[in-house]
Structures are given as C-alpha cells and as structure tokens.
Amino acid sequence: MPQPRLIETAAPQDPAGLVLVLHGGAARRGEVAVSPTQLSVVRMIPIAARVARESSGRLAVFRLLNSSRGWDTQHTPVQDVQWALEQLRQRFGEQLPICLIGHSLGGRAALLSADADGVRSIVALAPWVYPNDAHGLDASGRQILFVHGSRDRVAKPSSSAAVAATMARTAEIGYVTITGGKHAMLRHGSEFERLAADFTLATLLGTSPSGTVGRVLAGETAIRI
C-alpha cells in the first residue's frame, strides 16, 4: 500500500503552532497513490503558502499527501491525519496547538479528526461530507470554520450545513457561504484562501482579524458574502 507523505511549507525552529493542510481528490479504481501534481493537491499549495507567509515565521505549516486517492474504507484519510499529527508532535513537541485545513474529502478528514489531541481549530473548505458524519464526535473546545460556495455541485452545502449544526452542540462554529463559489475554489479563490489564513492565525496566534473572520469570532454563526 502507498504511504502518506508530509511536505514542508514552513518549519521555524520554535513555532507557536502547527498547521496541517489536507487535500481532496476523487477515488480511482484500486489503490492509486496520490501524485504531488494532481490538481486537488496543487490547489492547496497557495493556501499553505499564504498561512506560512502571514504568520511571519510563527507557524510550522505542512501539507499531507494521503496514502491513496479518495476514501478507502479499509484505510481512510483520517488515519493518514493521525499519522501526520504523530510525526509533527515527535518533531515539534506535544504542547503546540494545531489547526487542520482541509478541502473536499480533506475537509471531511479534518472534521472527523476534531477530537485528536492538540487540535484547536479546523477550516473545512467545501467539505465533502455526509449529513450524519459528526454524530457521536466530541469536538468540545474546538473552533471550526466552514466555508462553502453556493454553486458547489460536487459537495452539497446542505450536507456541510447539517454537519455544522451537529458540531455546534459542542464546538464554536462559523459557517460562511461564498456566493457563486464552486467546488474547485478557483472562482473567488482569494476569498477562500483569505478566510483560511485569517481564521488559522486568529485561533493559533490570537490575532484580531477584521472582516468576515472577525464577525465569526465575534459570534456570528452564519454569514453570506
């Protein structure tokens, strides 16, 4: 079976927090290894780079390449996230807060990893989820931002909204709808990236962003932009 891999975007010597960026990507017949050049992987590069740049060297940022494409029920991306978090803890220590940023199936993996040790916050970008995914999941104390385009025809906004409603029983939830946004996050791409970076820096470094993320952190739970 192919093995998961970590790709370093930024690794300061003494970071204040850890960021793990998770890609999406549809399944292929059989166990197909993830390619660093597949579009779903490449799409996350500017998001990881923006978080690293705007943190000014205060955050360690890594991208995870899953062991295989899609969601294999025998070995899911959640297990790859668990592996990656263990690798990062061994390298940087057990005490640093962690933010998971995931797109599509990566968003689902991030949300289903909400109860992992050290996870403080999650950004779920156009997450491909089932409406009942969060039932029984303890996300107590986590801060979670959902960002979904209104014109996403791959991952249903109604499904992510249902998951957000369930997780709001234990976690602090913000749900942002990007009018006209689609699944690939190319249209309004800078908006997806800005929201991910602002929320990550606010939850790990205590910055005080204005705009949409500022409204989320002030308590607004559903925003359309």
Assigned token pair, 128: 């491909």
| pTM assigned to the model | 0.94
pLDDT band at 28 (very low <50, low <70, confident <90, very high): low
The whole-number pLDDT of residue 30 equals 57
Q: Please indicate whether residue 27 or residue 34 has the higher confidence score (pLDDT).
A: 34
Task: Please give the order of strands across the beta sheet that includes 5-10.
Answer: 5-10, 59-65, 17-22, 98-103, 119-125, 143-149, 172-178, 222-224
Helix intervals (H) in 93-169: 105-112, 157-167
Assigned token pair, 96: 């640093």
Are the CB atoms for 145 and 176 separated by under 8 Å? Answer: yes
Per-residue pLDDT, averaged over 36-49, amounts to 92
8-state DSSP, 23? -
The whole-number pLDDT of residue 70 equals 74
Per-residue pLDDT, averaged over 188-199, amounts to 97
d(CA 154, CA 203): 29
Q: What is the pLDDT of residues 58-113, one digit of tens each?
A: 999 999 999 887 787 778 899 999 999 999 999 999 999 999 999 999 999 999 99
pLDDT band at 31 (very low <50, low <70, confident <90, very high): low
Assigned token pair, 77: 């991306």
Per-residue pLDDT, averaged over 51-64, amounts to 97
8-state DSSP, 32? P
The whole-number pLDDT of residue 53 equals 97
Are the CB atoms for 71 and 105 separated by under 8 Å? Answer: yes
The whole-number pLDDT of residue 72 equals 75
Q: Is the dihedral angle over the CA atoms 87, 28, 73, 43 positive or is it negative?
A: positive
d(CA 145, CA 124): 6
Portion of the chain with pLDDT greater than 70, in percent: 97
The whole-number pLDDT of residue 29 equals 57
Q: What is the pLDDT of residues 105-163, one digit of tens each?
A: 999 999 999 999 999 999 999 999 999 999 989 999 999 999 999 999 999 999 999 99
Are the CB atoms for 178 and 191 separated by under 8 Å? Answer: yes
Q: Name the average pLDDT for the chain.
A: 94
d(CA 185, CA 42): 12
